[in-house]
Amino acid sequence: MKKSTKTSGVLFSLGICLFVSFFCAWLKASTGFNGFLKWTPNADKAFEYFLISAWLPFVLYLLYTAFSKKKQALFFKFLSLLLSGIYIVICVTAFFFLSITGTIVSFDPSTVNILPSGESLPDRSKTVSDTEPLLRLGFSGDPHWGSNEAQSEIRTELLQNIGAQHYDAFFILGDIADFGTKDEYYENALADIAKNMPSTPIRFVMGSSDAKFNTKRQFSKAFLQNDKNLYSHIYAGHVHILILNLLWDAEDFNTKQKKWFLKEISLIPESDTVIVVSHCQIVASGYYTKSGRLFGESHDLIGRLSPYLEKYKADLVISGHCHFMEYLEKNDISYAVAGTMGGKLDSTLDYISPWSKWLSNSDYGWLEVEVYRTFFTFTFYGYDGTVLASASRDTVTD
């Protein structure tokens, strides 16, 4: 075997290793992928094994060069080339598929009243009395269009009842689709919303299922009018709604988003009402997965985000992700979970948060929030409009 041929083969097999490594790095940099690895059983191990095994072509070719004078050396060469071809096909196919996601299908969200980033809600601070709400909002999440376990008939009735409330805005708290790369799921969601609540302004929040995989562009195209910024500040006079991009846990609360959040919330007067919205819950009850991980209260977010919520006097934090309804209070902040828009409910909860005040994991429904000058009220509704729980709290000003 010529030395130049040997060198070329070694460099080629090394190039395959580096190519796969760069592909994996690109994948890990995509929105929500690190959370998927953390929370999907065995996904992190499978990804790690795939990355490590990508060095096999290189190792096999080195063995071929070391034993090139022996007949069995051809086996190492053949196996190296075969694996190189397999890795090329896998990575190129996956990269091509994930890169074009959301670019081919032309969504038509024009029939849905989408509330885009940067648009304000009504400022009624000068037009209403102290006994009238400044703002009326609705929240629910995790409809999971496309899931065989989702309750489509209940979801339809829920949409109709929410539409009848004529909220200033309704927030869908993520997991619109059961799988983000399925274009038809988003198309069905837009069609159902347009049919059952066409006039209500809607703000869509990206969820963990929506982020499978590398679907930020697709989600933005369908629900955010091509705005690729997944976190934003919605103004309504003295009421501020800060939307965070928290998909699985604290993985997406990166330096960039944290810097933006601290800048926005630090500039809000303490007398104003602050509502923080995300897909992933911060404080909540939950259950333990088979791996022993708690799916519920996020200790990472409690450590990394809650101190800022408390420092800057957030009033209410609302999320989905958990498929039940819950109200909690922790250090003068109200927390609400409303992941009950149609996805299969979390029927078994073996962890109850010490901050929980009310919980229902047997009802589909939504949360209504009415903001007044010095207090806010919240009401949990069943999907048929039945009141499940309600209360009020003063806004945090001290």
How much is the pTM?
0.91
pLDDT value at 217 more than 80: yes
SS3 188: helix
* Upper half-sphere CA count for residue 81 (Cβ side, 13 Å): 8
Of the pLDDT bands very low, low, confident and very high (cuts 50, 70, 90), residue 68 is low
Token pair, residue 348, equals 């078994």
How does pLDDT run across 352-391, given as a tens digit for each residue?
A: 999 999 999 999 999 999 999 999 999 999 999 999 999 9
Contact 133, 370 (CB under 8 A): yes
> For the packed helices 73-100 and 3-28, what is the interaxial angle rounded to 10 degrees?
30
CATH number of 110-394: 1.20.1260.120, 3.90.960.10, 3.60.21.10, 3.40.190.150?
3.60.21.10
**What pLDDT was estimated at residue 85?**
92
How does pLDDT run across 136-189, given as a tens digit for each residue?
A: 999 999 999 999 999 999 999 999 999 999 999 999 999 999 987 778 898 899
Residues of CATH 3.60.21.10 domain(s) within the chain? 110-394
Q: Say how far apart CA 150 and CA 192 lie, in whole Å.
A: 14
**Cα angle vertex 273, ends 269, 277, to 5°?**
115
**What pLDDT was estimated at residue 48?**
93
